[in-house]
Amino acid sequence: MSKKWKWILGVTGGLGTLLLACSALACVGVVLYAMYGEQLVIATQEREQPQVGAEAPDFELTTLAGDTLKLSDFRGKVVWLSFGATWCPDCHRETPVLQGAHEAFGEDLVVLAVDMREEAATVQRYVDRNQVTYTIVLDPDGAVTERYRVQFIPTSVFIDVDGIIRAAHIDAISAETLVKTLGEMGFDLTPSP
């Protein structure tokens, strides 16, 4: 066999393997859709979708300290909800901004991280390693995350003093974007003493 044919068979063999793998994945997708597709579509359509300008859905979750916390407990304060997880690299990038805002604005801005589907011990190790002092609540089954329709993390939701969603942001938020968002909400950007 000539070098040319060996090369052609080598290229098409690799391409054939790639096409076979893609076909297998497509078949798995078709089977999963056939089994669960209608249920997923119905569940997605029935879920409440919080939007900017709408009232933030209330929830009750547990803090790392074991205390129960309700979002409605913070009515009268501006709340920054940050949905994330310890395994998320972009969430790691956002941690210093969350911590800085918590330290700078104190009780004027409630910084509340919602950890998705992780064990308390895992989150506590992250908190200890990164010297986090803002409040983290655990969403072990992802129900709150789903209710807020979070599809990518980190996702930030900004809620005003009346409990209305005023802004949402997907991806790690920078200090500049945070200041801009809070300013647009009319938040007093003077740091707490």
Q: Could you please report the per-residue DSSP string of 33-87?
A: HHHHHHHHHHHHHHS----TTSBPPP-EEEETTS-EEEGGGGTTSEEEEEEE-TT
Domain boundaries, given as residue ranges, for the chain: 1-46, 60-184
Name the DSSP class of 154. S
pLDDT means over runs of 10, the chain (193 residues) = 50 48 48 50 47 96 97 97 97 97 94 97 98 98 95 96 96 96 91 71
180 membership: H or E segment, kind and range? helix 175-184
pTM of the entire predicted model: 0.74
Asked if CATH classification 3.40.30.10 holds for the domain at 60-184, the reply, yes or no, is: yes
What are the structure tokens assigned to 71, written together?
A: 């979002």
- pLDDT of 36 reads 53
Nearest Cα residue to 70 out of 126, 110, 124: 110
